[in-house]
Structure 1
Amino acid sequence: MNPAASVPKWLMDPPDLGAGSSLPAHTRIEQWLRQVIDRGDLVPGDRLPGEENLAGSLGVSRMTLRQALASLESLGIVVRKPGRVGGTFVSEPKIECDLTGLAGFTEQMRQANVRPGARLISATTLPATRQVADALSVERGSPIHEIVRVRTANRQPVALERACFPAEPFPDLLSYGLTGSIYRLLARHYGKRPHMATENLEPVIPNPDEAAWLGVDITTPLLLIERTAFTSAGLAVEYARDLWRSDRVRISLRTGLTSSPRLKPGDSRR
């Protein structure tokens, strides 16, 4: 067998790592690999050669190569998996989710040209805790419906939803199919479409159950989005704590200038 036949075509055109550049070798390797991926020579799911072989082919140390791979991993371009079947793989492109409006998960995935799905974990009616009661403006201990679902994009888990709804305006909510858009269900069957929401974002680490449902390691950072949604009349209809896989989703917001607040006496503009 011709040895060259087993060498990927893209590896036959390595980066120039000579002394003529002011950029360090690991930066040039990173830029080169990004170009290889951008032009489609490596596609999502492809595995790069082992570190020892790739470093040897490029004529650099494994430490130098690892610096380049670490930078690519921090950008979400590759993912490194440990173990006998591990290695460095080209990542799936992240799904863009725009929180500017109040589109539910189903609509967000459709906007991203991704097929949405849901797997129901549990659906129960239980007494509202203080936190849930405060968010939904109901008495502590009042009945609320809690729906827990794993949301999927092209059949891959990307988010874990834990949503609570007041039982009084939605008495038979759990009798409906709960694998589609619940926002659409609220509008169609109860005439109470969520119109606006307050949302808070923070990074968290999953517990073992959450990690298992999302198919990630317990050390994987996730993005928690805590949301309270209201109708146009100001009725709180949902309190949710959603965990998103930060390796699969990128959250975006659009902002704009609003009218400047009126200055008080003694204030000054800078």
Structure 2
Amino acid sequence: MGNPAPELRRGTGVPAHVQIERWLQEAISAGQMAPGDRLPGERELAAGLKVSRMTLRQALAALEAKGVLVRVPGRTGGAFVAEPRIDCDLTGLAGFTEQMRRAHLRAEAAVLKAATVPAAAEVAQALEIRAGEPVHEIARVRSAGGSPVALEHSYFPAARLPDLLEEDLSGSIYDILKNRDLSPHTAVEYLDPVISTPDQAEHLGIEPGAPLMRIERTAHTAAGIPVEHAHDLFRPDRVRISVQCTTH
């Protein structure tokens, strides 16, 4: 760490662990510690701050809860600076590629599946077609800055997009829809916390059973035509979902 341990102020009404938390947060925000950097050991850090290890652990636990730190148990573990979380705003219906552009990160997609299949009942109802009609099923791992952050699983009506699977699916599918005058304009989305399966965990580089945020979405064009039904899974340690609300 580049900055010296602060002199904690007693009798200010601000607990010592909160002062430590703020000091570490400011150091990380200022770039004095980069993602992946390991903090000094608890014994060393507590001694430098002249606090008990219990007080230090309160500060580290608070930063871990905020996603600022990752604590790894064991002799070779410790507290590490976490990768910063990416803000994804659902308000404007921007696709993943656009969201990453706003965060100044390069969006990537690894296609796991791209096939035309009969629509299951749920998909057919969302896309307002008959069950069994053909839909394009596309599953992709989405990465930001080289790190996997989401699993996308989308369905598109094949009748409206007959040659969709012939396109380059490693980029923005929403851009493809826009070029066909089928750009998503509105959507209904539902958010649910879920637990990752072993298969999902492997694709996202996390432990099985780790929490994920599931977003179910049905997107429509400005004319009200349903063009996508999707189930996306986001890593909450890497992505923070936001929605802007206004009163009328």
**Residue matched to 1:169:** 160
Amino acid in structure 1 at the alignment position of 2:155: C
- Alpha-carbon shift at residue 167 of structure 1 (Å): 1.4
Query: 2:5 matched to 1:13?
Result: yes
Amino acid in structure 1 at the alignment position of 2:235: R
Distance 1:101 1:23 in 2: 39
**Residue matched to 1:52:** 43
Q: Percent identical across equivalent pairs?
A: 54
Q: 1:197 to 1:32 in 2, by over 3 A?
A: same
Larger Cα-atom Rg: 1
Give structure 2 stretches of 5+ with no counterpart.
none
Distance 2:174 2:29 in 1: 37
**Residue matched to 1:221:** 211
- Alpha-carbon shift at residue 17 of structure 1 (Å): 6.1
- Alpha-carbon shift at residue 83 of structure 1 (Å): 4.7
Partner SS state of residue 174, structure 1: helix
- TM-score normalised over the length of structure 2: 0.92
- Alpha-carbon shift at residue 41 of structure 1 (Å): 2.4
- Alpha-carbon shift at residue 86 of structure 1 (Å): 2.9
Partner SS state of residue 178, structure 1: coil
**Residue matched to 1:243:** 233
Query: 2:220 matched to 1:230?
Result: yes
Partner SS state of residue 131, structure 1: helix
Alignment of 1:202-221 (within 5 A): 202-221=192-211
Distance 2:142 2:133 in 1: 27
- Alpha-carbon shift at residue 250 of structure 1 (Å): 1.6
Which residue among 180, 188, 203 is the counterpart of 1:198?
A: 188
**Residue matched to 2:243:** 253
**Residue matched to 2:114:** 123
Distance 2:247 2:9 in 1: 46
Amino acid in structure 2 at the alignment position of 1:91: A
Amino acid in structure 1 at the alignment position of 2:200: E
- Alpha-carbon shift at residue 151 of structure 1 (Å): 0.7
The answer to whether the 8 A contact 1:15-1:28 is kept is no
**Residue matched to 1:74:** 65
> Once structures 1 and 2 are overlaid, which stretch shifts more, 210-219 or 238-247?
210-219
Partner SS state of residue 118, structure 1: strand
Cα RMSD of the aligned pairs, angstroms, is 1.8
- Alpha-carbon shift at residue 242 of structure 1 (Å): 0.7
Alignment of 1:124-143 (within 5 A): 124-143=115-134
Give structure 1 stretches of 5+ with no counterpart.
1-7, 259-270
The answer to whether the 8 A contact 2:216-2:232 is kept is yes
Which residue among 135, 138, 143 is the counterpart of 1:147?
A: 138
Q: How many residues align?
A: 248
CA deviation string 1:110-159 (max 9, x = no partner): 11211111111111222222211111111122221110001111111111
> Once structures 1 and 2 are overlaid, which stretch shifts more, 61-70 or 231-240?
61-70
